[in-house]
Amino acid sequence: MSVISGKKILLGVTAGIAAYKTAFLVRLFIKAGAQVKVVMTPAAKEFVTPLTLSTLSKNEVISSFTKEEDHSNQWNNHVELGLWADLMLIAPATANTLSKMAKGHSDNFLLATYLSSKCPVYFAPAMDLDMHRHPSTRENFDTLTSFGNIMIPATSGELASGLSGEGRMAEPDDILKFIEDHLAKSLPLRNKKVLITAGPTYEAIDPVRFIGNHSSGKMGFELAAAARALGAEVILISGPTHLQNPNEEIKLIRVQSAVDMFEAATKFFPEVDIAIASAAVSDYRPKLSATQKIKKSAETMMLELVKNPDILANLGETKKHQILVGFALETENEEENAAGKLQRKNLDFIVLNSLNDSGAGFKSETNKIKILFKDGKTKSFQLKSKTEVARDILNEIILLSNE
């Protein structure tokens, strides 16, 4: 999964021959999972049509402050658009537009939006050789980068004038890679390794029956996806679930039983920086598992159970530098039980779920959590999607790691 997946990208297109490349650029952004909106200068429409870019981006292309097509008085809000974006890219960035950006001129909708933006702004210069070399252009590059804008350098090659040299806009693939690499460097979990357990465990009674629980694994898989998006190297150990790996860069290890999960977790734990035990591990397993299907006979059947190894307790006993986070699903004496587990298992914090909260717990797209910290502090969160809950949990881990 690309680091721009889920990002809202505002693409500003100016009047240069390289504008034709923006169709390919929009496709790459969409394929990487980003949302894209396009703003054009009026003259840019002579090089690539708004219809092409609106079709590819699935959003209306804007080039003026009012709706030109229906002659209405509806206003395109440049401030709102600038605030919408997670990042803005101006490509191609002509010498004319770069000069106006550097001087704070605002004579078209694109420039007004640029001046209103609060997000990182990237620009990809595109112009002829002598224009690119001109001292005023070089000064504008320096001015814009001093503002915090990020320049995607032009490359050398054949130019529209027939000359060959520096000034050619970077290719769409290279622009995407540049932005991904730049964003990756600022990710808070970059160079961190995270271990996550997820889902239920199945404890075999015989070849067709098992003891298990209702965990879907959704929370753990969302944590894994969020950790990877924040730059972490992720190892996801999952019990039986229908969920697919959310990111091919995540190392997914599928297991069945608590013993299987114990062996995998203890194997990888020494090499990680953070471990989040979100799996619903069976506390007990049948003492004997039949090799053949048990036939129905008597009215009752006795099943002797033995304790499974306590994965979280073992990790807590052996942890050195790691941040260790556990989960507690409770139905009564919730905070008291969670606080006891937090202390017994040497956790940095524990995530409390209550089955008494509507929309929380197993087989739900949402969750409502309370975090208990080892210093006695607590933090409550509203009912949210499990995607948002995963981000909340990881934000607390990031804060903890920065202390």
Q: Catalytic positions, please?
A: 213
Tokens of 371: 């975090």
Q: Which of 275, 141, 101 is nearest to 197 (CA)?
A: 275
Q: Which of 274, 312, 261, 254 is nearest to 193 (CA)?
A: 274
At residue 296, the 3 state secondary structure works out as coil
218-239 exposure pattern, b = at least 16 Cβ within 10 A, e = fewer = bbbbbbbbbbbbbbbbbbbbbb
CA distances 387 to 48, 96, 222, 383, 392, Å, are 37, 43, 6, 11, 9
At residue 204, the 3 state secondary structure works out as strand
- Give the burial class of 107: count Cβ atoms within 10 A of its Cβ; 0-12 exposed, 13-18 middle, 19 or more buried: exposed
Rounded Cα–Cα distance for residues 201 and 206 (Å): 15
